[in-house]
Structures are given as structure tokens and as C-alpha cells.
A and B are shown apart, each in its own frame.
Chain A
């Protein structure tokens, strides 16, 4: 046990807070958007860095805020390279030939390395209290997750999606550090299967409703023309159920997996707690959707802030001791050799 006697309430949970607001973010967003448009996208890395700096900077924990330090030029280089690859890949696969197979295999082999690089980049350039995060996952680990388990998932028709998710989070959270302190992850595949159960349940219910309603229409066709009124009411019910399912499925998935992930993640001996709620999340998503549509997209900054605020509010850290004790990792020497490749690829992924 750590003895931090200058901290009288050692184990009181520390809440994450998001201090930004929509109108102030709108001002930043719109200026950067316009600059991105008039430079035909070349400015977009700078816009991205400002966006992340805004969201990181407004996320607070225990009186300190996070920060993002990505270099826009490095991101630009990475994006140009990724764009080149994307064009090559599309050219290779647009015409059905042996090249489309070559393109697919090449991409499959490249993807794990790219994702690992982007994890490294993102964490390496994130900081809190002046200390940087870091990612030390191996290439072998990346191929094990993103090649072996991803392929397994496709071949099992997504039945192993929870297993893939578990391996992914194990790879990410067991290999991340804050300063020299390691994160660790304590949930196994069983936990993920339990979290995915309601998701699969909703999916199955949607498929069943679809089959039953289409089936009942088919029955009508066999005899005479089905009663148009019945068709309308069956189709109407079907669409309502399907839309309801679609609206529900994402919040359920997000809330259950996020809570599982963070409730089983530790930083050293410090723990986290996440209690995202399905219905608040659904309300935010649905109302954001409606408002973004009604404003032709200009509500987007407020929408992003609402999501960030709710997610932060639902997270807390349960310290096992003083947060002052973390020590910086000696990353300087590593930087020049190892991070070059990471800077080349900067992929945004919402894993």
C-alpha cells in the first residue's frame, strides 16, 4: 500500500469532467472547417490537432486536464500515404482480376502494422500532468489480434466478435502505459460474450420480425393479391420494429462494452469505473441525429460536445493512492528510432 499521508481522503473516487460547451466549440470548428475546405483538405491535420486539443484539454481528472501533441505535418504525411494506398487498393480491386486478390492480401497484411502504429502515435502524443502515455504492444500481438482473430470472426459469421473485442482490448490495455505505470486489463472473452448477449438478442429479434412479416406477406401472394391494408400495417410494424432495433442496438453495445472495458481496466493499482446508461446514450444519439439533420450538419459541434460530456461524466477513477507518484518514462531515446513509422500512419479508428 502506498502511504500518501499528505492526502487525507486517499480513496475518494475522482470524477472525469468535460468542461467544453457547444457554442465555444462551434467557433473553433467552423473556422477550421472553412480552412479545410478552401485548402482542399490540406489543412485538415491542423484542424484535427485543434479538435483533439480542444477535447483533450477540456477533459479533466483530479484538477488536471489532458493534452494532445500530435504534429500536424506528420499527420499530413500519414494521410497522404494512406490516401495513396487507398487509391492503389481501389484501382487494384475495381477490376476483377488477380490484382484484387493481391490488393486484399496486401491490405490484410498491412492493416495490423498500421493499427499498431496508430495506437503508438495516439498514446505517445497524449499526456496528462506533463507525463506522456505510451503503447508497447508488439507486432506479433497486432497480427494475432487483427489478422488471426479478425479472420476467425469473418469465417464464423461474427459469432466470435466478442472474442475479437476481448483480444483487442487485452492487446490495447495490457500494453499501454502512463509514464512508467502499466495499464492492465482483467476481463476475458466470457465477459465480452455476456456483454454482447443483449446485442445479439436485439439482432435476432430484428431478423425474426423481418422474416415473420415478409413470410406473412408471401402467404398472401400465394392465394390472391394480399389485402393492401394488411400489407401496409405489416410493413409499418416491421419498419417500426427495425428502426427501434437499429436505434437501440448501438447504445446497448456501447454502454455494455464500454462499462465492461473500463470496469476491468487498471492503471497500476488504480481502478476505473464506468456507468454509461443505455437510455441516456440513446436519447443523446437520437436527438443529435434529429438536430444534425434539421440543421444540415451544423449542429455537429454541439452533438460532439454532448457525447463527450456524457461519456466523461460516466467515468471515474478510484485511486489506490496519490496520483502524484507517477514517474515519466524515458521515451526520448526511443523517439527517434521507433516512432518514425508511427508518425507516418495516423488512422482514426473508433475501436
Chain B
């Protein structure tokens, strides 16, 4: 017999009882209570740490037990085994294994799972949705950051025909070159998911020749080809949600930081992919990858450049950067380490 507290389910009165669990049922007596309930009508609560165990009966009565060891001994004698998850929760070994497996799953999800899912989802999104998304983005930028291009029509035609000669083979996507200017953003080019590429005057002016401009456009085509915009959008949303779920009821700042880090890492991967695509495209067209290295170098020295080549950063700030450090990209280009294996 072990000590328990019985509540009859009708009032909050506590009855101090002695409890015996046997093969046939639960017997409680003391404090004016004398009751026997068959096992099949008794619900035995799981062991959850040191919280009291509870026996619940069909009429709403319960019995709280705090002597865990004695109760376990009675259960063993009565041949009542704990449920599967109950046993896992108690076992130190299961806990450690769960910890290791959870960490491994988390790492695998970060490296393969999320990007894989985002790539699949990006391809599954219908063209008219990407088109709408791109139009809205462009409209927003036109309203906020972009101004009309100052390039002459002749210059535009020249660049357009050079761009057309790059001839990326990419199924249904048709590429379109759009001209804008933006003193606030500085020398840059943007790829939209629908194949539109926005070229800023500032970049054209910075480049010493058109092959350098084409090198940047090749990089942007890489973003379109691999659907980086959409994938980054999906990965970002998913990482944010998952990290929020993971860290749960803690702190919004706590959720933001790892999301930013993960997003920056994914973004750098995409930049390298786009570099590879762009360089391969240049080679096919007989343009030396050195042109891309040159323009990257110029961009990294330009005061206000951001997207194609983030300004020079060092050390730990790399982890926050959306682009790989320009110096290492330029080195890789010059050593011919980029764009060998990917065909456009």
C-alpha cells in the first residue's frame, strides 16, 4: 500500500488514502473512502519527471500519487508496462540519441532539405505567378529607387543586341533587358524571376567596355536560370518559420539573427552558382572570364556598389554578407576555378 490523495471529482476535498495496484484493479481506502476500480476502467498517467502520477476513474474521481518508486514497484508487480513513448521519455540513452539525431536532421535539413524543397517549389510555381511577382517588384522599385535611364537610344540598342548575342538557352524563359538609373543604389544590375534583367546606367558608366557589362549580365542570367530569386524567397520564409518554431516562445530578436545568418549563407551559395553560370556563358561566347574579374574589381572599389559585388568586408562580417568576398571571387576567376563544370 502506498500513500495517495483521492479526489472524488464532485468536490475539491482531499482524502488521504492508501492505494494498492494489483493485477485486477486499484484499491483505495482511508479517510472514509473505500473503493475498488478494475484496471480496464483506470487511466494511469505517464511518468513526466517528478510530477505526481494520476489515476483517473470513469466518474471523474482521481488519485494523486507522489511516491514514484513505490508506485513503479506496484506497477511492475501487477505486470503493467509503461507505454512506448513513456519509456523513451524516461531513458537517458534515448534522450541522448534523440539529441544526436535531431542535430543531424537539423544540419541535413539546412544543407539539403530546405534548398532542395525550395528548388522544387520554385519550379512548381506557375509562370504567371512569377510574372505577377516580378511586375509588382519592378513597379515598387520604379516608384522608390529607380529613375529613367539617361542612355541614348542608340546606346541601348547596342547593349541590347550584344545581350541578345549571348544567347542563353533556357527553354520557355525569354530574357528582356530593361534600362534604369539609380544614383542611390549605384552601379548594379538585378535579375527578376520572370527573366527581366534591370541594368543601371551607373554600371554601364563604370564598365570600361561592353564585355564587362555582358559579364555582369551573364551573372544575372545565372540567377534567372537557377531561379535564385524565388528560391531565396521561399528559403527565407521557411527558415524564418522553422527557426521561430524551433526557438518557440523566446524572443523575436533571437529568431531574426539566425534567420539572417542562414539567409546570407544561402545567398552566397547562389552568387557562386550565378558566377559559374555567367563565366561558362562568357566562354561559350568567346569572352574572357577576366572581363568579369575586372568589373568585380571595379565594383568592389566603387563607393556605393552593393549587389553584384558587396564592398570589401573582412573576417566575421563575411558571415553576414549576401555575397562572397569580392577578393576571393576575383582570385577564383583568375585561377580559372569557376565555370568549368556548368554549361549554360
A24 touches B251 (CB 8 A): no
- The yes or no answer to B250 lying at the interface (CB within 8 A) is yes
- The yes or no answer to A34 lying at the interface (CB within 8 A) is yes
Contacts of A350 in B (CB 8 A): 249
Smallest CB gap from A43: residue in B: B85
A-contact 0/1 string along B34-65, CB 8 Å cutoff: 00000000000110111110100000111010
Contact stretch, chosen from A58-66, A139-147, A201-209 = A58-66
Q: Which of A20, A24, A31, A285 contacts B85 (CB 8 A)?
A: A31
- The yes or no answer to B11 lying at the interface (CB within 8 A) is yes
Contacts of B73 in A (CB 8 A): none
CA distance A37 to B99 in the complex (A): 12
CA distance A89 to B253 in the complex (A): 26
State the Cβ distance, A36 to closest chain B Cβ, in Å: 9
A289 touches B254 (CB 8 A): yes
B-contact 0/1 string along A319-334, CB 8 Å cutoff: 0000111111000000
B105 touches A37 (CB 8 A): yes
A28 touches B48 (CB 8 A): yes
Interface size on B, residues (CB 8 A): 45
A30 touches B49 (CB 8 A): no
B250 touches A326 (CB 8 A): no
Q: By DSSP majority rule, is chain A's interface helix, strand, loop, or mixed?
A: helix
State the Cβ distance, A33 to closest chain B Cβ, in Å: 6
Taking A30-B102, A31-B94, A304-B249 as contacts, is the C-beta distance between A328 and B60 under 8 angstroms? yes
Q: Which of B14, B52, B61, B95 contacts A26 (CB 8 A)?
A: B95
B-contact 0/1 string along A89-110, CB 8 Å cutoff: 0000001100000000000000
State the Cβ distance, A348 to closest chain B Cβ, in Å: 9
The residues in A between 276 and 322 inclusive whose CB is less than 8 angstroms from any CB of B are: 285, 288-289, 292-293, 297-298, 300, 303-304
A292 touches B99 (CB 8 A): no
A20 touches B247 (CB 8 A): no
Contacts of A327 in B (CB 8 A): 10-12
- The yes or no answer to B155 lying at the interface (CB within 8 A) is no
- The yes or no answer to A27 lying at the interface (CB within 8 A) is yes
CA distance A288 to B249 in the complex (A): 12
Q: Which of A25, A31, A304 contacts B49 (CB 8 A)?
A: A25
Smallest CB gap from B246: residue in A: A297
CA distance A288 to B64 in the complex (A): 33
B14 touches A289 (CB 8 A): no
CA distance A126 to B140 in the complex (A): 50
Contacts of B254 in A (CB 8 A): 289, 292-293
Contacts of A50 in B (CB 8 A): 46, 48, 89
Contact stretch, chosen from B1-9, B194-202, B294-302, B329-337 = B1-9
Contacts of B7 in A (CB 8 A): 64, 129-131
Taking A31-B98, A34-B102, A53-B45 as contacts, is the C-beta distance between A179 and B12 under 8 angstroms? yes
- The yes or no answer to B248 lying at the interface (CB within 8 A) is yes
B105 touches A65 (CB 8 A): no
A328 touches B251 (CB 8 A): no
- The yes or no answer to B77 lying at the interface (CB within 8 A) is no
State the Cβ distance, A97 to closest chain B Cβ, in Å: 11
CA distance A21 to B50 in the complex (A): 9
- The yes or no answer to A343 lying at the interface (CB within 8 A) is no
A303 touches B250 (CB 8 A): yes
Q: Which of B5, B13, B51, B248 contacts A57 (CB 8 A)?
A: B51
Contacts of B51 in A (CB 8 A): 19-20, 53-54, 57-58, 65
Q: Which of A24, A28, A57, A324 contacts B12 (CB 8 A)?
A: A324
Contacts of B251 in A (CB 8 A): 285, 289
B247 touches A292 (CB 8 A): yes
A54 touches B49 (CB 8 A): yes
**Count the A-B residue pairs with Cβ separation under 8 angstroms: how many?**
132
A326 touches B12 (CB 8 A): yes
Q: Which of B5, B52, B62, B90 contacts A27 (CB 8 A)?
A: B90
Interface size on A, residues (CB 8 A): 51
- The yes or no answer to B284 lying at the interface (CB within 8 A) is no
- The yes or no answer to A67 lying at the interface (CB within 8 A) is yes
Contacts of B101 in A (CB 8 A): 34
Taking A27-B95, A131-B12, A328-B9 as contacts, is the C-beta distance between A58 and B85 under 8 angstroms? no
- The yes or no answer to A210 lying at the interface (CB within 8 A) is no
State the Cβ distance, A123 to closest chain B Cβ, in Å: 16
CA distance A35 to B95 in the complex (A): 12
- The yes or no answer to B152 lying at the interface (CB within 8 A) is no
A-contact 0/1 string along B235-279, CB 8 Å cutoff: 000000000001111110110010000000000000000000000
B85 touches A297 (CB 8 A): no
A129 touches B14 (CB 8 A): yes
B48 touches A53 (CB 8 A): yes
Smallest CB gap from A323: residue in B: B12
State the Cβ distance, A16 to closest chain B Cβ, in Å: 14
Among B7, B12, B61, the most chain A Cβ lie within 10 Å of the Cβ of B12
Contacts of A298 in B (CB 8 A): 99
B-contact 0/1 string along A37-75, CB 8 Å cutoff: 110000000100010011001100001110100000000
A325 touches B12 (CB 8 A): yes
CA distance A28 to B248 in the complex (A): 16
- The yes or no answer to B132 lying at the interface (CB within 8 A) is yes
Taking A31-B88, A34-B101, A300-B248 as contacts, is the C-beta distance between A130 and B60 under 8 angstroms? yes
- The yes or no answer to B328 lying at the interface (CB within 8 A) is no
A67 touches B12 (CB 8 A): no
A64 touches B14 (CB 8 A): yes
State the Cβ distance, B303 to closest chain A Cβ, in Å: 13
A28 touches B49 (CB 8 A): yes
State the Cβ distance, A226 to closest chain B Cβ, in Å: 17
CA distance A331 to B51 in the complex (A): 27
Interface residues of A (CB under 8 A from B): 19-21, 24-28, 30-35, 37-38, 46, 50, 53-54, 57-58, 63-65, 67, 95-96, 128-131, 179, 246, 285, 288-289, 292-293, 297-298, 300, 303-304, 323-328, 350
Interchain Cβ contacts under 8 Å between A and B, 6 examples: A24-B49, A32-B85, A38-B105, A64-B64, A246-B253, A324-B13
Q: Which 9 A-B pairs have the closest CB atoms?
A: A57-B51, A130-B7, A24-B49, A326-B12, A324-B13, A129-B12, A27-B95, A34-B98, A30-B98
